[in-house]
Structure 1
Amino acid sequence: MGADEEPAEVFADLARDLCTLGADGVARRVTAVAPGLVPGCEDAAICLLDRHGGVVPAAATSERAALADRLQHEAGEGLCLTAIRGVARTAPDLLGNDGGPIAEATGIRCMLGVPLVAGTDLLGALTLSCGTPYAFDARAVTTARILASHAAVALAGAAARRRGAELAEALQSSRVIGMALGVVMAQRRLTPEQAFDLLRRASQRQGRKVREVAADVVETGQVPVGARVR
């Protein structure tokens, strides 16, 4: 097998692995493979955007990589945040620009930041680092972009699966609650609003979710003991 074929095999194996993982698993897997895949890379970190637009550290291969990202977030600037805004950039030598404090605190001299983009959605940033200045050449940048693309597609897939699971759970909860309401309405001759209020107060009294109380009603055919309508 030629050297040029090895990255292709790694990416193929990676794609198969990532399609089964959640967001945290994707972040850990991608950062773990980066040092052996991207020329010059010694450490890697991933930060993701949450549903409210906040930046959340997701994975890092070392404490110094995590610290480098944290220092950038605290300062409100840096290569990681630039990547999260959608711009890939390399800092060849942190001591030669505004990255001096990071270099002094972590020993990192060279960094590469790549956005994680799926379609038009910015999901986060992949940050690669090395203790040697000028570590990332054009080949490293290209490989990092490919790795970031794999990560972004996998993250988008994980998010879609999560939304699907949440929707399925919500639909199932609605069906169960609807069936329980029918039982309560029939037994107590209540309106839908009164029946739901009865289930809600029963759930508060028992310290359980409404869906759980409703499931008991559907299974047993019995209204919760002591349940009364206001």
Structure 2
Amino acid sequence: MSTPIPATPADPDGLAEIADAVVRLGEQLRTVTADTLVEAVIRQAAETLPGARWASITTLRHDTFRTLAATGEKARQADALQYRVGSGPCVDALLEDSVHRSGDLAHDARWPEYGARVARELGVRSALAYRLILVPDPDLIAALNLYSDVPDAFDDQTEWAGTMLATHAAWAVSTALAQERAENLEVALRSNREIGTAIGVLMTQHKLTRRQAHELLRLASQDSNRKMAEIATEVVDTGQLSMPRRPGRPAPGARGD
């Protein structure tokens, strides 16, 4: 369990305590695995920053918002409500490249609909959101979001400390998404290899052209509502292609006139 940063006046000694706490956080993050980095950051944010009760990470790609990770369902719901109404501290932090803080969401004129609803429906009274600087990706932006059920939960010192923590959050998100892209690429390459091998099996067994073999796999995938790579693996393992017959469809290997 992390020790909360003391919410003392912003004097040099207080800033030193904050800096030491963030350094300790960075050291802790180096010991976690890549697939748990984001969760570790937001957990530490909620435990370390004064006033924070819940935390989450939002990403925006191609006009689609996504909660990448959250410390609890309350944070996910607070995020989702912003996505639905199209405004809020998180959304504005993303779109305006800024930091947004509110200590009275229920009466905040910047987000009248969101603020009133999130306070009434979820009991969230304060919010603090940072846009994150990620490894260059023109299609992706992200934000660190902090929530509290206490009014005026975040002060200037907390905002400053959160800025330093957001640096770790940006690194964690960049690392996690890079791993996700690498894993997706590996899956795609493996699927393509399976499909290529299955096409070769069908071409050899049924004297088909490459195009005809590929079309049979596509039809089998469509008719069975299964992924083509899954069908291809089955062909490679069994040497057989099973597919529902439509009236008038030729059997695999049959040639038209």
Instruction: State the one-letter code of the partner of 1:8.
Output: V
Change in Cα spacing, 1:78 to 1:208, as seen in structure 2 (3 Å) is closer
Aligned to 1:42: 53
Deviation digits for residues 82-136 of structure 1 (CA, Å, limit 9, x no counterpart): 1122211222444664266258525544432111330455533222234554443
**In structure 1, what is the Cα distance between the partners aligned to 2:212 and 2:153?**
68
Change in Cα spacing, 1:191 to 1:152, as seen in structure 2 (3 Å) is same
Which of 202, 205, 215 aligns to 1:187? It is: 205
Q: How many residues align?
A: 223
Deviation digits for residues 55-88 of structure 1 (CA, Å, limit 9, x no counterpart): 2344544665555445544443322221122211
Instruction: State the one-letter code of the partner of 1:227.
Output: P
Change in Cα spacing, 1:102 to 1:154, as seen in structure 2 (3 Å) is same
Whether the aligned pair in 2 keeps the contact of 1:202 and 1:227 (CA below 8 Å) is no
Deviation digits for residues 182-211 of structure 1 (CA, Å, limit 9, x no counterpart): 232223222111122233334455554332
Aligned to 2:162: 144
Change in Cα spacing, 1:181 to 1:18, as seen in structure 2 (3 Å) is closer
2:178 aligned with 1:160: yes
Whether the aligned pair in 1 keeps the contact of 2:195 and 2:232 (CA below 8 Å) is yes
Which of 211, 224, 228 aligns to 2:241? It is: 224
**In structure 2, what is the Cα distance between the partners aligned to 1:169 and 1:101?**
44
Q: How far 1:152 sits from its partner (Å)?
A: 2.3
2:35 is paired with a residue of what secondary structure?
Answer: coil
Alignment of 1:46-195 (within 5 A): 46-49=57-60, 51-61=61-71, 65-66=75-76, 68-85=78-95, 86-94=97-105, 97-98=108-109, 101=116, 104-105=119-120, 107-121=123-137, 122-195=140-213
**In structure 1, what is the Cα distance between the partners aligned to 2:193 and 2:144?**
42
Q: CA RMSD in A?
A: 3.3
Runs of 5+ unmatched residues, structure 2: 1-15, 243-250
Aligned to 2:7: none
Change in Cα spacing, 1:94 to 1:190, as seen in structure 2 (3 Å) is closer
2:174 is paired with a residue of what secondary structure?
Answer: helix
Change in Cα spacing, 1:133 to 1:181, as seen in structure 2 (3 Å) is closer
Runs of 5+ unmatched residues, structure 1: none
Range moving further from structure 2, 140-149 or 52-61: 52-61
Change in Cα spacing, 1:186 to 1:30, as seen in structure 2 (3 Å) is same
Q: TM-score, normalised by structure 1?
A: 0.75
**In structure 2, what is the Cα distance between the partners aligned to 1:71 and 1:203?**
37
**In structure 2, what is the Cα distance between the partners aligned to 1:94 and 1:213?**
52
Whether the aligned pair in 1 keeps the contact of 2:22 and 2:164 (CA below 8 Å) is no
Whether the aligned pair in 2 keeps the contact of 1:15 and 1:150 (CA below 8 Å) is no
Deviation digits for residues 35-61 of structure 1 (CA, Å, limit 9, x no counterpart): 321123233343332x43222344544
Aligned to 2:35: 20
Q: TM-score, normalised by structure 2?
A: 0.69
Q: How far 1:215 sits from its partner (Å)?
A: 2.8
Identity percentage over the alignment? Answer: 35
**In structure 1, what is the Cα distance between the partners aligned to 2:41 and 2:146?**
11
**In structure 1, what is the Cα distance between the partners aligned to 2:187 and 2:119?**
49
